[in-house]
Structure formats: C-alpha cells, structure tokens
C-alpha cells in the first residue's frame, strides 16, 4: 500500500516531532490556528492525523479579523474544513483590530495572538500550533537584516516558545501547497498576500527575486542562519546566566568582571541589574554601556543611575548596586 504524498509525510513528521518535543501529557488539548490558507490547512491536516496518536484532543481556532469583505464566510469555511479533517472542535473567534503606530500588520497580529491565547486558556490547552513555514522564517530574517536589528532579531521565530509551537518551520511553502493538493483541500488565497502596501509582501517578492538572481537556496540559507545564530546566542545566554549566578549579589569584584569577554559581560550586567531590581524591559543598551564603563573605562566617575531607582558605583575594587538616595 503506497504511503502518503511526500509533502503530506513531511508535514506530519514535523508536527509529530513538535508535539513529542513539547512533552504534552496524554489527555491534554492542543489548539491549531487556521486561516484557511495552504500553510495552516496543511498544519491542521497533520495535527488531525498525529495528535490523536499521542492521546491529545484537538481544537481548531479560526480568527476573523474583519478586515475584508466576506471575512466571516471565509472563517466559517475554514472551520468547516478543519472539522472535515477530523479535528475535535473548530470555532471562529472574531476580533477587533485597533490601528496602532506599528501599522495594520502588527495590530492584526496582536489581536490574533490574544484571541488564540484566550482560546488556549478556555480549553486548558498545553500548546497552540502555528503554521509558519521556512519561507516565513526567511522573510523574518531578511526584514531583521534590513532593519539592522541585531543578532537576537536574526534568530527569527522559535520552533517552541512557551505556549506557541511552529512545527512547519522546516517545511517550505511549496510543500504545504503540495500537501493540500494531495489531500484535495482547497486553500483560501488571502488577497492581502499580494498587496505591496504590506512590508512582508515586499519581503516575499524580494526573496523571490533573490532566488532568481542568486540561484536557489537563499530562503533555506536565511532560515539556516536563524538556527545557527539562535544556537550561538543560547550558548552565550547560558554561560552568562551561570556567571551571574556565581557572582551573586553585589558587591562584585572589578577584576572578575573585567576578565569576562565583552559579549558575556553585557549579558551578565543585564542579569545582575535585573536581579537587583531594574525592570528588564527598561534596561537598554545605554544603561549597560554606562555601567560597563565603570569597569572598562574607569576614570573616577560618579555613581550611575539605573531604572528601578538604583544606582551603581565603583569603589575599593568592587562594583556596588544600591537604592538611589531620595533627594
């Protein structure tokens, strides 16, 4: 008896690896996000096939952003397709997309993730599966490079991050379309995916041009770069976390801090200051550079102020962090 189409098999394999890697308890529930497009339909089909084998119940959630005429009908059709695939439940959640300074794409994404998170909470789901592919990863990396956002942004999207699983990051968009064709599924084509007003659409077109001009492999190379950079950053983060743990509370010896490689020391500063009471979200590069100058550019400067009402000073060969005096 012939096996499934190679594209179907690829989607199933990656979903199986994601679900087993998440170590979800049998009897639990997973939510699958589905727009009705090829990527999310291929994901839904793979989840419907693999999740029951692991004793997991499945719920498909279709988010209607109400940004296009007929969006309610599109959402209902996607939910019906998910039911037809054998997913345990399928529901539509309607959201209000509030325009924000970061543009409509960001606002829609924020509303969508909030709806999916709420659905996961209502079903006590252990994970939400998203249909991002290797092509989406390459677009994310390209945009990060264009913005000069630094190595953290170049890592792209994580396969597993808290509640969110992205099983198809190792699968191409071509494969998801082939999987849908093999399964006789008719995906919805979102006209927004062809609208050059959206930055991601322009990135998609740029990647297609690069593949033509430079040869095939650009998408795969960008996605592979994300994995490599993520591995390196994970190693650096773990090293810095251990150093910060060993240093403990202030005071901290200047000579020990000075001996650290700069990429490690900057991470250590962030960990030490956060542990001392500085909100992580408020600690910017300017704060890290200023406190680092107490070690690397010492010329007798005064104490420096940090977020959270703290000050950091050097004296007697040590660095001290303490509450800032009330004026």
pLDDT tens-digit readout, 25-41: 999 999 999 999 999 99
pLDDT tens-digit readout, 211-264: 899 988 999 999 999 999 999 999 999 999 999 999 999 999 999 999 999 999
Per-residue confidence (pLDDT) for residue 146, from 0 to 100:
85
CATH architecture observed for domain 6-224:
3-Layer(aba) Sandwich (3.40)
Per-residue confidence (pLDDT) for residue 104, from 0 to 100:
78
Q: Which residue has the higher pLDDT, 57 or 198?
A: 57
Domain span(s) for CATH 3.40.50.620 in the chain: 6-224
The alpha helices in 35-95, defined as continuous H runs, are 38-50, 71-85
The annotated binding site is made up of: 35-40
The span from the CA of 161 to the CA of 140, in Å, is 16
Per-residue confidence (pLDDT) for residue 50, from 0 to 100:
98
Q: Which residue has the higher pLDDT, 282 or 14?
A: 14
pLDDT interval class at 200 (50, 70, 90)? confident
Report, as an integer, the average pLDDT of 153-162: 92
- Tell me which residue of 92, 83, 2, 85 sits closest to 42, measured CA to CA: 85
Per-residue confidence (pLDDT) for residue 67, from 0 to 100:
87
The span from the CA of 52 to the CA of 44, in Å, is 13
The annotated binding site for ATP is made up of: 35-40
Report, as an integer, the average pLDDT of 127-140: 96
pTM of the shown model: 0.83
Report, as an integer, the average pLDDT of 77-97: 96
pLDDT tens-digit readout, 50-72: 999 999 999 999 999 998 889 99
Domain span(s) for CATH 3.30.465 in the chain: 248-323
Q: Does domain 248-323 have CATH number 3.30.465?
A: yes
Percent of the chain at pLDDT > 70 equals 98
- Tell me which residue of 47, 10, 7, 45 sits closest to 29, measured CA to CA: 47
Strands of the sheet with 89-94, listed across from one edge:
89-94, 57-64, 29-33, 127-129, 164-165, 160-161
């Amino acid at each position: 008896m012939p096996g499934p189409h190679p594209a179907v098999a690829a989607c199933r394999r990656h979903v199986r690896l994601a679900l087993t890697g998440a170590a979800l308890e049998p009897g639990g529930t997973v939510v699958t996000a589905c727009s009705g497009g090829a990527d999310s339909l291929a994901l839904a089909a793979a989840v419907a096939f693999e999740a029951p084998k692991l004793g997991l119940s499945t719920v498909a959630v279709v988010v209607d952003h109400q940004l296009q005429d007929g969006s309610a009908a599109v959402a209902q059709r996607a939910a019906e397709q998910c039911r037809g695939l054998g997913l345990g439940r399928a529901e539509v959640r309607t959201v209000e997309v509030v325009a924000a300074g970061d543009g409509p794409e960001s606002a829609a994404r924020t509303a969508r993730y909030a709806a999916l998170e709420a659905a996961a909470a209502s079903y006590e789901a252990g994970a939400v599966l998203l249909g991002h592919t290797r092509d989406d990863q390459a677009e994310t990396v390209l945009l990060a490079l264009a913005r000069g956002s630094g190595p953290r942004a170049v890592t792209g999207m994580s396969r597993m991050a808290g509640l969110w699983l992205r099983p198809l990051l190792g699968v191409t968009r071509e494969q998801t379309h082939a999987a849908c064709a093999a399964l006789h599924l008719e995906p919805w084509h979102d006209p927004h995916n062809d609208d050059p007003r959206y930055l991601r659409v322009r990135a998609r077109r740029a990647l297609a041009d690069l593949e033509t001009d430079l040869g095939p492999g650009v998408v795969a190379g960008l996605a592979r770069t994300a994995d490599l950079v993520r591995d390196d950053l994970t190693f650096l983060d773990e090293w810095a976390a251990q150093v910060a743990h060993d240093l403990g509370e202030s005071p901290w010896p200047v000579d020990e801090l000075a001996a650290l490689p700069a990429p490690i020391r900057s991470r250590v500063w962030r960990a030490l200051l956060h542990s001392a009471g500085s909100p992580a979200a408020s600690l910017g590069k300017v704060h890290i550079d200023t406190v680092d100058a107490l070690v690397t550019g010492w010329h007798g400067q005064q104490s420096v102020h940090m977020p959270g009402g703290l000050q950091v000073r050097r004296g007697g060969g040590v660095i001290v962090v303490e509450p800032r005096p009330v004026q």
